[in-house]
Amino acid sequence: AIGFETTTPPTAMAILVAEKKGLTNFSIFCNHVLTPAAILAIFESPEVKTLGAVEIDGFVGPAHVSTVIGTRPYEPFARSYRKPVVISGFEPLDVMQSILMLVRQMNEGRAEVENQYIRAVTRDGNLRAQAIVADMFELRESFEWRGLGQVANSALRLRDAYAAFDAERIFPIARSNAQDNPACECGAILRGVKKPAACKLFGTACTPETPMGSCMVSSEGACAAHWTYGRFRDAAKMRAAE
């Protein structure tokens, strides 16, 4: 069972069905994680504590996650850290409009949570899904994220009432931590401190075919996106500078 808030309710429903049918050979290994905790980890990164600012102007909020949790959980980031957030849909026009909304906020000196994806996202989200998840899961004290390290209160585990479906309690599962290449800059890239091209592995040892870090593994990662689109712009700038 893996994924953000979008995939947690289906996991909960599967367990409820298994419980109703009296299944004794069904269990999950819970690795569901939480979006707001990851954003908070970026704001509370060492660079922020040292420099007093994060190198991010604003956030394009996730569509599917926000259909579940709503826009309310992002409000502390706009209020406390003065960073605008716009929840965006998936279509190209959605993304372009969301970026325009962010730019307008910055130009006007505002830091608010705005919802571009009004056709699917509300302020309170899916309350029924939230209730099912809250009944079945509880927070882990800490969870390791690739590139970010240990992040407090950023993942879920099954409550005692559902221990019969918890693979971590049923089986002797030993967690092993994958060691990233020490030259990989994914952590800094995730926090907005560096850009993909600033990593010396980018485009050489690290490509979508041979990814070295989480930013290149996922097709949605910053490095994978820059490899697909941004590297041609970089090459043009280099030629112009020659």
Fold held by 53-123 = Rossmann fold (3.40.50)
Triad 15, 66, 117: Cα angle to 5°? 135
The residues with which 61 forms a beta bridge, in sequence order, are 87
Q: What homologous superfamily does CATH list for 1-33+124-178? A: HypD, alpha/beta domain 2 (3.40.50.11740)
187 pLDDT tier (thresholds 50, 70, 90): confident
- Distance between CA atoms of residues 208 and 205, nearest Å: 10
Predicted pLDDT at 190: 85
The ranges assigned to domains in the chain are: 1-33+124-178, 53-123, 186-241
C-alpha atoms less than 13 angstroms from C-alpha of 134 in its C-beta half-sphere: 8
Full-model pTM? 0.86
Q: Where do the DSSP E strands lie in the chain?
A: 2-3, 31-32, 59-61, 85-87, 113-115, 137-139, 142-145, 149-152, 156-158
226 pLDDT tier (thresholds 50, 70, 90): very high
Q: pLDDT tens, 108-166?
A: 999 999 999 999 999 999 999 999 999 999 999 999 988 788 999 999 999 999 999 99
Which among 3, 6, 10, 14 is positioned nearest to 165, based on CA atoms? 14
Predicted pLDDT at 49: 61
CA distances from 8 to 3, 43, 197 (A): 7, 25, 34
